[in-house]
């Protein structure tokens, strides 16, 4: 194989690698959407208690809060630079323009969800829920596009 040929093959391989990594790079959007969906589902369960559609139960509250906390923990790493494109997303460019505010907003939600895992009685529930809901809203207000 001539040098030139090696170069051609090598650059071909590189192109494939780059294309693959481009596809992989698109996946944080789907991954964080899946994480947020799971957060939303667990939040929906907690909301049923807030709306008095479901009885307060410390064990299920803890489990749902843990899900929210875990998923928010994974979501943190799923907003890499440049992941505002390549897939349908409601993430606003403001996330990357004002990264420190975004990180602080996500951390506030993580902390609020952690506090919810520590709720053991019904009278602790609503104050914790107000904080958690407020933290979700705080981030969505600033960094999420309206629905299409």
Partner 1 sequence: MGAKTLAAVMLVIAAGVVGGLYLLSAPHPVNASSLPQHVPDPTNGEVMYNAGGCISCHKPAAGQGEGDATLPSGGVPFNTPAGTFYPPNITPDRETGIGAWSDANFVNAVQHGISPDGTHYIPAFPYSSYGRMRVEDVLDLKAYLFSLPAVKGERRPPEVMLGSVGEAVMRRATGLWKLLRGDARRIVHHADESGPWNRGAYLVDAPGHCGECHTPRNFLMIPIASEKFQGGPHPEGKGKVPSLIDLVGRKRYKDADDLANALRFGETFGYDKLSSGGMGAVQTNLSKLPEGDIKAIATYLVGLTGSRSRQ
| Cβ within 8 Å of residue 95, ≥6 positions away | 79, 84, 102, 143
Name the minimum Å distance from CB 43 to partner 1.
Answer: 5
**Residue 46 or residue 78: which is nearer to partner 1 going by CB?**
46
**Residue 5 or residue 51: which is nearer to partner 1 going by CB?**
51
Name the minimum Å distance from CB 116 to partner 1.
Answer: 12
Q: Which residues bind partner 1 (CB under 8 A)?
A: 40, 43-44, 46-48, 50-51, 90, 92, 129-130, 132-134, 136-137, 140-141, 144-148
Q: Is 32 exposed, middle or buried (0-12, 13-18, 19+ CB in 10 A)?
A: buried
**Residue 43 or residue 72: which is nearer to partner 1 going by CB?**
43
Report the residue count for the chain.
Answer: 148
- Indicate the helix (H) or strand (E) that contains 64: helix 58-75
**Residue 14 or residue 104: which is nearer to partner 1 going by CB?**
104
Name the minimum Å distance from CB 137 to partner 1.
Answer: 4
Helices 122-143 and 3-50, packing angle to 10 deg: 140
Name the minimum Å distance from CB 64 to partner 1.
Answer: 11
Beta pairing partners, 144:
91
Neighbours of 34 (CB within 10 A): 15
């Amino acid at each position: 194989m001539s040098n030139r040929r090696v170069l051609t093959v090598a650059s071909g391989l590189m192109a494939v690698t780059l294309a693959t990594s481009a596809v992989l790079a698109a996946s944080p959007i789907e991954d964080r959407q899946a994480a947020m969906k799971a957060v939303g589902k667990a939040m929906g369960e907690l909301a049923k208690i807030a709306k008095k559609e479901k009885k307060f139960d410390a064990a299920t509250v803890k489990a749902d809060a843990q899900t929210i906390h875990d998923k928010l923990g994974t979501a943190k790493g799923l907003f890499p630079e440049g992941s505002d494109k390549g897939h349908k997303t409601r993430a606003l460019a403001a996330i990357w323009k004002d990264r420190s505010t975004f990180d602080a907003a996500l951390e506030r939600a993580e902390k609020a969800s952690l506090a919810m895992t520590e709720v053991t009685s019904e009278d602790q529930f609503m104050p914790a829920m107000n904080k958690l809901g407020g933290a979700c809203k705080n981030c969505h207000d600033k960094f999420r596009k309206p629905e299409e």
